[in-house]
Structure 1
């Protein structure tokens, strides 16, 4: 067991890193909510200030973990969305540290203790997969795109071991082919590459199968010398250049997979 081998030093790292992350994350949440009290009446759906708070918190998280993040390429500036491979809960922090985005998540996430509060406060778009709410939330999705928000989602539909890319599901790509959005929107593929600490399994940062969040989180906190994370921004693609959602999803999947070099 990794916990048994961690020793006093490992548990000490887990304690101070955990406390520091909690302070920064939930302290940042309090500041964000206070700023939002002013921002929302003035700007409505637009958020000119609070994304900077989110980005600061996410960058600080990697400093606390002593886990370097390098960025290749440039985040898109126009209207549209980013799509990335999904290896871990850390993906949220990595993408937010590298670019100002709003995530798309399944509606169940809104009810998760602790995480749900953070997701709602930072402007996450919740999508219901079934039922009457799906159409309402689809309109919200479109409204956010038209407002200029850069959305981000994980087309694999689940997290992986971090060393492979699963086939991209094309369902959410359909939103870009409604009501003329395909004429103005772009999609930017992004590859998240996690390099394991020296001597560790290449899947060290992957969170998949029956792994618990708490167990994986604790393992990362305990790790002494960390690995590193790369965020690779590929060239954005115009939606109108692809005949349908399946072709667009296939293009993004190929771009993301090609850069997953460990």
Structure 2
């Protein structure tokens, strides 16, 4: 019997990091850390002024986040491009989830706010960044459903573009898993259904030449630190391409399952073409 795609036995074998590779790790890592945490300090200072003046609105700090994410790819030598038109209407964005790199890719092109599982808030480093940039944390607990629905409504009606990963987990970057309709339920609240749009986005990673096509995928029990080191050590990086699909109005769909199925189909098509 064949193993499932996410079995640990099938994880790609990462190349050994050479002496020159370690030099890249140090140079890129220090520069990246300076960029990220230096700008985090600036963001927190700006937020001290922004929050009392604008409350839930964030007219200034998202530009700092975009600056960091765009330049993070330059530091890593990573190619980045996108196609399609960004949604200007009020609503949410949904995308496939392949790697921790998705955070940089999706923030680099569009001002968005991630919706993430509550555990991420406690992760060293990443948790601090997530909280500072306005991430919405959710608990997979039915008792929290009403509270979370209220938070979604407040942020969406304030004009925030919330970004969801409907697969519920990350993948090996070569597939799109079925979209869970649960997170789409908030869009169908009476206060939101006629006011919101949803824009599907496909995120595709092209591995460095001669590397496993899953090189940038980060999933299952993979160690984050080890994966980060191999990405930083790569002599020639690959690239990431974002495809922004046409936004759709929530009111045009009968229910959350129909909307989830549609978004899944639209996001998966470019991935199928990429994998061939």
TM-score, normalised via structure 1 length:
0.97
Tell me if 1:7 matches 2:18. yes
Residue 204 (structure 2) aligns with: 193
- For 1:132, what is the secondary structure of its paired residue? helix
Cα deviation digits, residues 70-97 of structure 1 (max 9, x gap):
0100121111010000000000100000
Q: How does 1:165-204 map to 2 (within 5 A)?
A: 165-204=176-215
Cα RMSD over matched residues? 1.1
Cα deviation digits, residues 158-187 of structure 1 (max 9, x gap):
000000000000101000001331101000
Residue 209 (structure 1) aligns with: 220
Tell me if 1:236 matches 2:271. no
1: CA distance, partners of 2:57 / 2:128? 19
1: CA distance, partners of 2:248 / 2:189? 17
Report deviation, 1:190: 0.2
Q: 1:121 aligns with which of 132, 136, 140?
A: 132
Report deviation, 1:132: 3.3
Residue 49 (structure 1) aligns with: 60
- For 1:129, what is the secondary structure of its paired residue? coil
Residue 64 (structure 1) aligns with: 75
**Which consecutive unaligned segments of at least 5 residues does structure 2 have?**
1-12
Cα deviation digits, residues 82-137 of structure 1 (max 9, x gap):
00000000001000001000000111111111111111110001111105333212
Q: How does 1:56-135 map to 2 (within 5 A)?
A: 56-135=67-146
TM-score, normalised via structure 2 length:
0.92
8 Å Cα contact 1:127/1:138 also seen in 2: no
Residue 262 (structure 2) aligns with: 251
- For 1:193, what is the secondary structure of its paired residue? strand
- For 1:34, what is the secondary structure of its paired residue? helix
2: CA distance, partners of 1:227 / 1:113? 27
Tell me if 1:144 matches 2:159. no
2: CA distance, partners of 1:220 / 1:14? 8
More off after superposition, 137-146 vs 94-103: 137-146
2: CA distance, partners of 1:29 / 1:132? 33
2: CA distance, partners of 1:149 / 1:142? 10
**Which consecutive unaligned segments of at least 5 residues does structure 1 have?**
none
